[in-house]
Amino acid sequence: MRLAYAPYILKFKNPAGTSRGILTEKPTFFIKVFDEGDPDRFGIGECSVFPGLSPEADGYYVYKLIELLANVALGKETDLSSHSSIHFGLEQALRDYAGGCRHVYFPSGFTAGKGSIEINGLVWMGDFDEMIERIDEKVEQGFHCIKLKIGAIDWKKEVQMIEYIRKKYSDSTLQIRVDANGGFTMDNALPRLKRLADLGVHSIEQPIPAGYPELMAFLCQVSPLKIALDESLIGIYSKEKKSMLLDEVRPEYIILKPSLCGGFSGAEEWIKLAEERGIGWWVTSALESNVGLNALAQWTAVLDTTIPQGLGTGGLFTNNFDCPLRLDSDCLRYDSSVEIDNDIYSKLDWKY
């Protein structure tokens, strides 16, 4: 068995406002596993690294890929415990190869075209008018749950925006989730959480920054609004430390991003520990290309999900790849008639 990797820059169709600034492009890496005797038959995966958020996104990232490449050739294991995105990509590539190199990572009724995954509609950060327009577009498309990125505009305007939504759409018609990306402080968190709860918001992701479990535990205990942990999960790899965090903070939900929390296997461990404690969860994508998103959706489909998931739709980038995922109202479906031509990956700058 051999492995190769290729860097790739994803280009946004429109500048994307995030808590980490305005993004116009995002780096990612693809990896493929193959047999030397038949190099045209390979399994592919995506190492979706996120600069500024992924702990492994440093100057040594490529060296870890080179180490993995060498160890696969030698038949040796590589410690990827602190490299979630590479773990995520390798799991995909191995599953694809084992499944016949057809980009079917988790066979199910979903990949047979018989099921769907309900998702929330993500409204990117922007000015007041832009976000209002995007919200109305999501509702017209058929979404019953939207997620608002807050923290980019004035708090009073964000409240006005949610008030506008509630005047048009009741909480029985439209569920509102918000993501603060750690943008609140302990001085303003409680009054803001109460105001959001009064407006019928369903939940908030990461109200204060990660790294303050005692303060987050206090908020979870007294907040009138359900709190979900997101960034707080990143960089926690051992089962013991995961258990300690959940026991100390006791959030209502956790947000699972396999490219940031140990791949599929790491995320599944988080799910098991959360369910043992009566903590809910949902899956969210993290700006993967259609390669990673396809695998992520297939994995989500085999989980016992009962609420809208936070998966993307593959429409963010100008230079994305063919994908069998299709958006139908507020659901992702898999078009089993689509066959992806592996020749599209031949133009990548593969390193062997």
pLDDT digits (tens, 9 = 90+) for 173-183: 999 999 999 99
pLDDT per residue as tens digits for the range 117-146: 999 999 887 788 888 899 999 999 999 999
Position 349 in a domain: no
Residue 26 designated active-site: no
Is the pLDDT assigned to residue 48 strictly greater than 80?
yes
Instruction: Point out the domain boundary residue: 104, 134, 162.
Output: 104
User: Comparing 33-47, 153-167, 224-238, which segment has the lowest mean pLDDT?
Assistant: 153-167
Cβ neighbors of 64 (< 8 A, separation 6 or more) are 56, 78, 80, 83, 86
For 26, the 3-state DSSP assignment is strand
Task: Confirm whether 325 is domain-assigned.
Answer: yes
Among 104, 124, 149, which residue terminates a domain? 104
- Residue 350 belongs to some domain of the structure: no
What pLDDT band is residue 18 in, cutting at 50, 70 and 90? low
DSSP code per residue over 285-305: --S--HHHHHHHHHHHHTS--
Residue 152, pLDDT above cutoff 90: no
Residue owning tokens 């950060």: 125
Residue numbers of the domain that contains 327: 116-334
CA distances for 314 relative to 4, 298, 318, 321, angstroms: 24, 14, 10, 9
Is 232 part of any domain?
yes
Confirm whether 293 is domain-assigned.
Answer: yes
Say if 347 falls within a structural domain: no
pLDDT in tens, 325-351: 999 999 999 999 998 888 899 899 999
Q: Distances from the Cα of 128 to the Cαs of 124, 158, 225, 349, in angstroms?
A: 11, 8, 23, 41
What is the Cα–Cα distance from 89 to 263, expressed in whole angstroms?
8
- 330 plus 191 within the same structural domain: yes
| Judgement on whether residues 90 and 125 belong to the same structural domain of the protein | no
| Phi and psi at residue 70, to the nearest 5° | -65, -45
Same domain, residue pair 150 and 208: yes
Does residue 70 share a domain with residue 137?
Answer: no
Same domain (yes/no): 192, 296: yes
CATH code of 29's domain? 3.30.390.10
Residue 306 φ then ψ, to 5°: -130, -5
Whether residues 16 and 162 fall in one domain? no
Strands of 38-47's sheet in order across? 2-18, 21-35, 38-47
Helix, strand or coil, per DSSP, at residue 113:
coil
Domain contains 339:
no
Final residue belonging to a domain, choices 59, 83, 104: 104
Q: Is residue 341 part of a domain?
A: no
Give the ranges where 84-154 is alpha helix by DSSP (H). Answer: 84-98, 128-141
Rg (CA), the chain: 20
- Of the candidates 32, 147, 149, 242, the residue annotated as catalytic is 149
Q: Is 149 known to be catalytic?
A: yes
Same domain membership, residue 177 and residue 122: yes
Separation of alpha carbons 189 and 109, rounded Å: 43
Q: Which residues contact 244 (CB under 8 A, 6 or more apart)?
A: none
Our count of domains for the chain comes to: 2
Residues 60 and 142 grouped into a single domain: no
Nearest in space to 333 (alpha carbons), one of 177, 144, 9, 110: 110
Which residues 6+ apart lie within 8 Å of 345 measured at CB?
6, 30, 32, 44, 321
Sequence-distant (≥ 6) Cβ neighbours of residue 7 within 8 angstroms: 27, 28, 29, 62, 349
Check whether residue 233 and residue 299 sit in a common domain.
yes
Catalytic residue among 64, 147, 242, 257: 257
- For residue range 52-79, what is the model confidence (pLDDT) as tens digits? 888 999 889 999 999 999 999 999 999 9
The predicted structure's pLDDT at residue 20: 62
Residues 153 and 92 in one domain: no
- The CATH number covering residue 180 comes to 3.20.20.120
